[in-house]
Structure 1
Amino acid sequence: MLRDLTDDQARAALPLKWGEVAPGVLPAWVAEMDLRLAEPIEEALVEAVRRGAGYAAFGDGGLGAAFAGFARRHWSWELPDDACVPTGSVMGGIRLALEALCPAGPVVVPQPCYPPFRDVVAVAGRELVTLDLDPDATQASLDLPAVERAFAAGARTYLLCNPHNPLGRAWSRDELAALADLAGRYGVRVVADEIHAPLTLPGARFTPYLTVDPRAVVVTSASKSFNMPAVHGAQLVLLNEAERERVRALPVPAQHTWSSLGIAAGVVAWRDCDAWLDALLERLDGNRRVLADSLPAALPGARMRPLEATYLAWVDLRAYGVADPAEAALAHGLRVSPGRDYQPGLAGHVRLNLATSADRVREATRRLSSALI
């Protein structure tokens, strides 16, 4: 079901992840998978290109119904077929939500965070309020007391990553309900990035944020779970029909930012690729076990909370006294993402991509150990 890429194939298929490293360097940084597209998606894209590459028509091309079907099968979430408004990318959708749907006031972004979360707040002309989560906590949390202080001080939007990148948490329903309660009390709009939702791993459970807070805006896409970042086809999920119409009626309609290829690929991914996704989750579950077994042996001082979702391991290497272990790793033939990208000033952390072969995961651990010991 899964088709692995050789090193040479990966350099051709993933020109950023593999093409931006020197020969012999193992890339485990950018959030892409060392896998070919699922065959139904590949076939849908080839067919769409043969038809032409025109603008997408107004409407969603069946994307909303396909996503609603996926949500029903995987999360028992009954979502209307017309709840989605297509947009180009998840970050473009978040910017659209900030500019068109969120109240005036500062925007709360917990850290560590996906770096563009900070950037999009600035681009939207909003004040950024960052909340640094405790790196020493046994389990990563939303730190609701700090969130409430930010809301009480005037913040009116909260950017939620559900599940979280890079912490790998699938937030519980109780945690999300408590956040929703705070948001309701202070008149805060939550914008939830749920692009990693299908990548919730065995033993954990994904809770769609809209099921605890119907006022929220969710932005999601099939691009991450089905390894097609070049195909822009994200969607806003809004339960309020009037707000969906408001977005569709903007002077520069959201329809002009999405791709007909993205819609074609997204429909097939949400509708026809459950078996491929099941095989992927089995692979990722195996690779997190490989890392859990090999990391303590190679780096006894390393600390990593159990990975509940995503294929991105957040590893605390402060015990080795190296401020930037990512820089040290690169000198030993491994590229990982430095923790400071996700939280400026945070030393001793890296993000490690596990969406590859088990052998590459073991080799990444070996090279990381060589860099630090």
Structure 2
Amino acid sequence: MRFDDITAEQLFALGGSKWSRFGDAYGAFVAEMDFGLAEPIRAALHKMVDDGLSGYISPVWDQKLREATTAFVERRYGWTVDPGNVLASPDVLTGLMVTMEHHIKPDARVILPTPAYMPFMFLPGKANHDLVQVPMIRTENEWLLDFDAIDEVFQDGDLFILCNPHNPIGKVYTRDEMQRLSEIVDKHHGRVFNDEIHAPLTMPGVEFVPYPMVNEVAAGHTLTAMSASKAWNLAGYKCAQLVLNDEDLSHSHKFAFDLHGTATPGMLSNIAAFNEGEEWLAGVNDYLAANQQRLIELLAEELPGAVFVPNQGTYLAWLDLEALELEGKPSDFFLEKARVALTDGGACGDIGKHSVRLNFGTPRPVMEEMVRRMGEAVRSR
């Protein structure tokens, strides 16, 4: 099926979270795409059912996942990883909790560049670690880390969360930026939790470099979490991968039970995605790039004054709506007045109170209707 042929009526009828949580509101909040499954993944899941594979994860599948993961990152990024250093995890956030519990000191703080993925804002507190927000610097054309501020707030042994591509702003970090970050982390004997779940989703012409590839120092202080879940829309199947360095791997027995929730469908679908899903992924990335260009045009037509720094990766657009002078939270305004469900920017950090996150990983006609509804709501105030 061509992505443009998928209608909002079909998406509502499917009953997924994105299109049911807020009743008849168009779903643009949760990080899921609306493009169905790649055929190799669909085939793998049908075979799983036909073969009656409904039991616990097997060592055979676990090894195949390790090999599929390492072959994928070698092919796509030139990143050489020992399959033995890859562990299956239910999701990326489990990787963060494992990192905070087992890889940093109890009094270590978590340093987070904002705006940030919402759970990064509250999970450190649940793990009894203080959170330090460091707002990013927005220029006309890009987002930049405030390296001076990061260096200033970093205390010995703290944990830095790197999200690359950066949810919710779509930034892909350059090698030079990550080199400088690694020097600051190393200077303060810190650690990095490196979330690369959106890594396969980059705009045409954008180079993605995994953080551990930057230098040996970066590789030595990092735990990387990744998954096929965002690029191939598999989040509900519960499978991610943690890439550990040798020292961390030697202590992995301490947190093995934390990773026990990985699901059989997730493991088999991740294997299929990494081994056979790149053709479908290339088409998705091209479609997302065209969606983003159309979004830029629509914002100028429907929401003049909205500020959007175009993404280098992901399908999540960060819109600064301060100039529109909306009452209350922008997300509440558009949910009530336009019936479009967006992510509240304030949930992504103090810097985001006038902003929303909009998911454009949806059929283009559906995205166009969303933005037109938002424009009409603003004009009708």
Paired residue for 1:214?
A: 219
- Alignment partner of 2:200: what SS? helix
1:96 aligns with 2:98: yes
1:32 aligns with 2:32: yes
> Quick check: 1:2–1:38 contact (8 Å CA) kept in 2?
no
Paired residue for 1:128?
A: 131
Counting only pairs closer than 5 Å after superposition, residues 147-186 of structure 1 correspond to structure 2 as 147-151=150-154, 153-154=155-156, 156-186=158-188
Please state how far the C-alpha of 1:101 moved relative to its aligned partner.
1.9
Paired residue for 2:378?
A: 372
**Range that drifts further, 1-10 or 200-209:** 1-10
Equivalent-residue separation in structure 1 for 2:31 and 2:164 (angstroms)? 16
1:282 aligns with 2:283: no
Per-residue CA deviations over 1:128-177 (Å, capped at 9, x if unaligned) read: 112122456652111111110111x4461111111100011001110011
Equivalent-residue separation in structure 2 for 1:355 and 1:309 (angstroms)? 12
Equivalent-residue separation in structure 1 for 2:189 and 2:271 (angstroms)? 35
2:302 is aligned, of 295, 298, 302, to 298
Going from structure 1 to structure 2, the CA distance change for 1:326 and 1:164 (only over 3 Å counts) comes to: same
Equivalent-residue separation in structure 2 for 1:345 and 1:278 (angstroms)? 33
- Alignment partner of 1:198: what SS? coil
Going from structure 1 to structure 2, the CA distance change for 1:255 and 1:114 (only over 3 Å counts) comes to: closer
> Quick check: 1:58–1:255 contact (8 Å CA) kept in 2?
no
Going from structure 1 to structure 2, the CA distance change for 1:14 and 1:243 (only over 3 Å counts) comes to: farther
**Range that drifts further, 98-107 or 302-311:** 98-107
1:199 aligns with 2:201: yes
> Quick check: 2:219–2:245 contact (8 Å CA) kept in 1?
yes
1:321 is aligned, of 300, 321, 325, to 325
1:350 aligns with 2:356: yes
| Identity rate, percent | 32
Paired residue for 2:47?
A: 47
> Quick check: 2:6–2:363 contact (8 Å CA) kept in 1?
no
Equivalent-residue separation in structure 1 for 2:18 and 2:79 (angstroms)? 34
Please state how far the C-alpha of 1:54 moved relative to its aligned partner.
1.5
Name the count of aligned residue pairs.
369
Q: Which sections of structure 2, spanning at least 5 residues, go unmatched?
A: none
Equivalent-residue separation in structure 1 for 2:163 and 2:195 (angstroms)? 5
Per-residue CA deviations over 1:183-218 (Å, capped at 9, x if unaligned) read: 111100001110000001113221101112112110
More helix by share: 2
> Quick check: 2:136–2:144 contact (8 Å CA) kept in 1?
yes
Which one-letter code corresponds to 1:67 in the other structure?
T
Counting only pairs closer than 5 Å after superposition, residues 207-286 of structure 1 correspond to structure 2 as 207-212=209-214, 213-215=218-220, 216-240=222-246, 242-247=247-252, 249-250=253-254, 252-286=256-290
> Root-mean-square deviation (CA), in Å?
2.0
Please state how far the C-alpha of 1:123 moved relative to its aligned partner.
2.3
> Quick check: 1:108–1:155 contact (8 Å CA) kept in 2?
no
Please state how far the C-alpha of 1:12 moved relative to its aligned partner.
4.8
Equivalent-residue separation in structure 1 for 2:351 and 2:224 (angstroms)? 30
- Alignment partner of 1:85: what SS? strand
Please state how far the C-alpha of 1:252 moved relative to its aligned partner.
4.8
Please state how far the C-alpha of 1:102 moved relative to its aligned partner.
2.6
Going from structure 1 to structure 2, the CA distance change for 1:306 and 1:7 (only over 3 Å counts) comes to: closer
- Alignment partner of 2:289: what SS? helix
**Range that drifts further, 46-55 or 69-78:** 46-55
Which one-letter code corresponds to 1:113 in the other structure?
A
> Quick check: 1:218–1:236 contact (8 Å CA) kept in 2?
yes
1:114 aligns with 2:117: yes
> Quick check: 1:107–1:156 contact (8 Å CA) kept in 2?
yes
Going from structure 1 to structure 2, the CA distance change for 1:345 and 1:174 (only over 3 Å counts) comes to: closer
Q: Which sections of structure 1, spanning at least 5 residues, go unmatched?
A: none
Please state how far the C-alpha of 1:79 moved relative to its aligned partner.
2.1
Please state how far the C-alpha of 1:68 moved relative to its aligned partner.
1.4
Equivalent-residue separation in structure 2 for 1:255 and 1:58 (angstroms)? 14
> Quick check: 1:203–1:308 contact (8 Å CA) kept in 2?
no
- Alignment partner of 2:55: what SS? coil
Per-residue CA deviations over 1:250-280 (Å, capped at 9, x if unaligned) read: 2653552212221111111111101000010
1:332 aligns with 2:334: no
- Alignment partner of 2:144: what SS? coil
